[in-house]
Amino acid sequence: MIVRSRVAAQAGQLELNVMMPLIAYNLIQGIEILGNTLAALTERYIKGITALPHRCLAYAEGSLALIADLDLYIGYLNAGAAFKRVPGICQVSVGDCAGARAVEF
């Protein structure tokens, strides 16, 4: 499918719109394959997934993204100070990682 479209493009035949039906056919075939794939994915893997509310709440409350939102209200430096006080955060220094840039608050 892809090879035929590439050969048609390389031969310059696409400029004459001679290969337009081939391109349309390949596009429709690709969309059909994608649709079938999504249907199979949904049926086999996605149906039946349920969220655990207490687990989701724990992830949300433990996320450092909340500190980024504090920046608007308490300022960048105060948010950085709050970040340093969060337990369980591994603060990496420049000497620990070769080529890594450490962010100091």
For the chain, the structural domain boundaries read 2-46
Helices and strands (H and E) in the chain: how many: 5, 0
pLDDT band at 9 (very low <50, low <70, confident <90, very high): low
pLDDT in tens, 52-93: 999 988 888 777 777 777 788 888 888 888 777 766 555 544
Inter-residue contact 13 to 19 (CB < 8 Å): yes
Query: Using CA atoms, how far apart are residues 71 and 77, in angstroms rounded to an integer?
Result: 8
Rounded (5°) CA angle 32-35-38: 150
pTM of the full structure: 0.41
Query: Using CA atoms, how far apart are residues 66 and 60, in angstroms rounded to an integer?
Result: 8
